Amino acid sequence: MKKLEINSFTTLTIFDFGKNWYWPLKQMAFAKKNFGKNNDLEFIKVMGTGGSPGFSLKPDFSKYAILCVWKNKNSSDYFFKKNKIFNLYVKKSMSFRHLKMVAIKSHGFWDSKKPFKSQEINFKKNNFPIAVITRATLNWSKLIQFWKSVPRISKAIEKAKGVIFYKGIGELPFIQQATISIWKNNNFINDFAYKEIDHAAIIKKTRKNNWYKEDLFSRFLLLSDSTNKLYK
């Protein structure tokens, strides 16, 4: 694949704090203060995670995620090396997984914004892993309907072919939910999205019953996926 001209660059870092969960939980209240004063940072979310794959009512207090959208890759590299708060996350965690991505397809909104700028990339001759982020703000009146369908959603992705990793992430319990998943290539996602019967049925139900106040679906070319274990 020829070198990409990246106009917008996305990173997702998932930290595992083990038993030291109270510190990152407390930091979520100061996300804007800690990370908001950076002109090269176009969008940021500091989120908790679900206690089981996919959506979950049970939180995983040991793991937290930081999602960033940057003007360019150089800006992100400098931030991760120099930002004191981010490096404090690194220092206090047991390990972290760091994803570097470029958006290739995105539709919908996140807090009334379209954070991911898609770039056209030809996949036909390349077999690269793809990351998918889904996100929704639920309508209060539809909470029970949604959560009753969660086991079916989770089972659908659990048995899907080509999925490497999936995890629930989110800003607010119950009402603002998101997922991150990694797939072997774009073909596996298409098969799951358009041919998997249970998944297609759930998607149809969300539209018909107006479950979401706001939703977003984005695909990314996964440029890098690294896990760092910090022995303490």
Question: Is residue 139 one of the residues assigned to a domain?
Answer: yes
pLDDT at position 224 is: 93
Question: Is residue 31 one of the residues assigned to a domain?
Answer: yes
pLDDT at position 32 is: 73
Task: Give the global pTM.
Answer: 0.88
The alpha carbon torsion through 193, 198, 200, 205 (nearest 10 deg) reads -140
Low-confidence ranges of the chain (pLDDT < 50): 1, 231-232
Print the domain residue range for 70.
9-226
Question: Is residue 142 one of the residues assigned to a domain?
Answer: yes
Question: Is residue 118 one of the residues assigned to a domain?
Answer: yes
Q: CA-to-CA distance for 175 and 143, rounded, in angstroms?
A: 7
Q: Output the domain CATH number for residue 147.
A: 3.30.70.100
pLDDT at position 175 is: 83
pLDDT at position 151 is: 66
Q: How many domains does the chain have?
A: 1
Question: Is residue 179 one of the residues assigned to a domain?
Answer: yes
Neighbours of 117 (CB within 10 A): 15
Question: Is residue 232 one of the residues assigned to a domain?
Answer: no
pLDDT at position 232 is: 47
Question: Is residue 2 one of the residues assigned to a domain?
Answer: no
